[in-house]
Amino acid sequence: MPAPTCASCHAARAALRRPRSGQALCGPCFCSAFEAEVLHTVVAGRLLPPGAVVAVGASGGKDSTVLAHVLRELAPRLDITLRLVAVDEGISGYRDAALAAVRRQAARWELPLTVVAYEDLFGGWTMDAVARSTAGTGRSRSCCTFCGVLRRRALEEGARLVGATHIVTGHNADDVAETVLMNFLRGDAARLARGGGLGSPGEGGALPRCRPLQFASQKEVVLYAHFRRLDYFSEECVYAPEAFRGHARDLLKLLEAARPTAALDLVHSAERLALAPAVQPPRPGACSRCGALASRALCQACALLDGLDRGRPRLAIGEREHRGGADVQGTRGRAQAAVQAAAAF
Ligand code: SF4
C-alpha cells in the first residue's frame, strides 16, 4: 500500500506517523512541527528570555544533540546566544568517544564549546575512581547516584565559566516520566514536589535551568535526529546497566504498551501534583562548605565527596549531613581552580 500524502503540506509522501497523534507527515513537515513545539514550550513557559546566554549541557547523545540543533535553529527568533558545555565524568571507554561527537557538533555548528572534568572539579575523583571505590561492596548501583549529583554541579560550574545566564538540558518526556516513577517508588515527596515544572527557576543563586524537550517523546527525538541527519553518539554508558533508572524504563515500556500516552501523562501528572504543606520541600539554604544551594548543612555534592574522601560512600548517600572534622576543599573552591584549566574551544 503506498504511503499516504503528508497531512501538512499535502504534496510529499508521508514518511512517518507521529507516535502521539498518529498524524502522517513527510520528514521536513515533521521537523518543522517538532521545532515549532519546542518553540512553544520555551515561549509559553517563559523559559529563556530575550538576551539570555544559554549553556546547553552537551553529552554527544541524541537528546542534547537534538536540543542544541533545535535551539540553534530557534536562536534568532528567541534572541538567545548558545554555548555548549560538556562534562567529562572520567569514564574510560565511553566518554572520550562521546566528547569527540560533541567536538564535531561544535565545529560544524560553529558554537563555542567548553569541557569541564570531574577530576579537576572534585579533587581528583572520576567516575571510574568512584566505581572502583564502591566495587565489591554491593554499592555499585550507587554510580549513577554519585554521577547525577556531580554532573549537575559540574554543569553549573561550566555554565558560570562561559558567562551563561541559563542552563538547558536535553531531558525528554521519557526521561522525565522515568524520574517521576523513580521518585514515586522511592517515596521521595520532596523531589516529586520539585520535579513537576519545566525546570528550576534558579533559587539560592543557582542558574535557572530548564528542559525544552520535556514534552517531546524519545521516539520523536530519534526521528528528528534521523530526518535532520544529525551526528550523535549512541552507545550506552558502561555503568548504565546497573542503574535503578533501567527498572523505571522497563516499567514505563510496559505502561506504554497498554497506554501509548503514559510518558506524557506522567509528565503532566507531576506538573499537577499538589502536595500537602507537610511534605513540601524545606526552603533551600546555602551549603556550609561551598556555598551552593542546599536543603541541609551540606549540599549533595559536598556530602557525597565527603563520603568518598572518607571511604564511606554509602554513608554519604544515606545521610547527606554535615559531619565535623573533614578537611576537604569545598567543591566551589575546587571548581574555581579547575575552571581556569578547563578546555575551551
Ligand atoms: Fe553517569 Fe550513570 Fe549516566 Fe553513566 S549512566 S554517565 S554513570 S549517570
Identify which of 127, 171, 242, 317 to mutate to test ligand 1's pocket (most ligand atoms within 8 A of the CB): 127
Model pLDDT for residues 146-172, shown as the tens digit of each residue = 899 999 999 999 999 999 999 999 999
Torsional sign, CA 163, 166, 172, 175: positive
Whether residue 341 is predicted with pLDDT greater than 60 in this model: the reply is no
Span from the CA of 90 to the centroid of ligand 1 (angstroms): 10
Span from the CA of 128 to the centroid of ligand 1 (angstroms): 11
- The Cα–Cα gap between 51 and 13 comes to 40
One DSSP character per residue, 130-155 reads HHHHHTTTT-GGGHHHHHHHHHHHHH
Span from the CA of 2 to the centroid of ligand 1 (angstroms): 43
Where residue 309 falls among pLDDT bands split at 50, 70, 90? confident
Model pLDDT for residues 215-247, shown as the tens digit of each residue = 999 999 999 999 999 999 989 888 888 788 889
Q: Provide the annotated binding site for ATP.
A: 57-59, 63, 87, 170, 175
| Amino acid letter, 88 | D
Nine cell digits for residue 222: 530519534
Q: What three-state secondary structure class fits 168?
A: strand
**Is the pLDDT higher at 129 or at 336?**
129
Q: Whose CA is nearest to atom 8 of ligand 1?
A: 144
Does residue 216 contact residue 302 with C-beta atoms inside 8 Å?
Answer: no
Model pLDDT for residues 8-52, shown as the tens digit of each residue = 999 999 999 997 788 999 999 999 999 999 999 999 999 999 999
Task: List the chain domain ranges.
Answer: 27-274, 284-314
Instruction: Determine what percent of the chain is predicted with pLDDT higher than 90.
Output: 55
- The Cα–Cα gap between 76 and 253 comes to 37
Residue 213's alpha-carbon distances to 9, 156, 175, 216, 241, in angstroms, are 24, 19, 10, 5, 24
DSSP annotation of 311: T
> What pLDDT does 129 receive?
92
> What pLDDT does 231 receive?
94
> What contacts 86, CB < 8 A, 6 or more positions away?
57, 58, 59, 60, 99, 102, 113, 114, 115, 116, 158
Averaged pLDDT of the chain: 84
On the CB side of 156, CA atoms within 13 Å amount to: 21
Q: What is the mean pLDDT of residues 129-133?
A: 89
Span from the CA of 241 to the centroid of ligand 1 (angstroms): 10
Span from the CA of 338 to the centroid of ligand 1 (angstroms): 21
Which of 153, 150, 122, 343 is closest to 239 using CA atoms? 150
> What pLDDT does 226 receive?
97
Is the domain 27-274 a CATH 3.90.1150.10 member? no
Model pLDDT for residues 171-180, shown as the tens digit of each residue = 999 999 999 9
Q: Residues lining ligand 1, CB < 6 A?
A: 89, 127, 143-144, 147-148, 237, 239-240, 243
**Is the pLDDT higher at 114 or at 187?**
114
Does residue 172 contact residue 216 with C-beta atoms inside 8 Å?
Answer: yes
Which of 59, 103, 56 is closest to 237 using CA atoms? 59
Span from the CA of 270 to the centroid of ligand 1 (angstroms): 24
Whether residue 138 is predicted with pLDDT greater than 70 in this model: the reply is no
Q: Provide the annotated binding site.
A: 57-59, 63, 87, 170, 175
Identify which of 128, 143, 146 to mutate to test ligand 1's pocket (most ligand atoms within 8 A of the CB): 143
E strand segments, 99-229: 113-117, 166-168, 199-200, 209-210
Ligand 1 nearest atom to the CA of residue 240, by list position: 5
DSSP annotation of 217: -
| Amino acid letter, 326 | A
Model pLDDT for residues 254-269, shown as the tens digit of each residue = 999 999 889 999 988 8
Ligand 1 nearest atom to the CA of residue 127, by list position: 7
Whether residue 252 is predicted with pLDDT greater than 60 in this model: the reply is yes
Instruction: Determine what percent of the chain is predicted with pLDDT higher than 70.
Output: 82
Whether residue 109 is predicted with pLDDT greater than 60 in this model: the reply is yes
Beta strands 53-57 and 24-25 are unpaired
Q: In degrees rounded to 5, what are phi and psi of residue 214? A: -60, -25
Which of 41, 13, 337, 88 is closest to 216 using CA atoms? 41
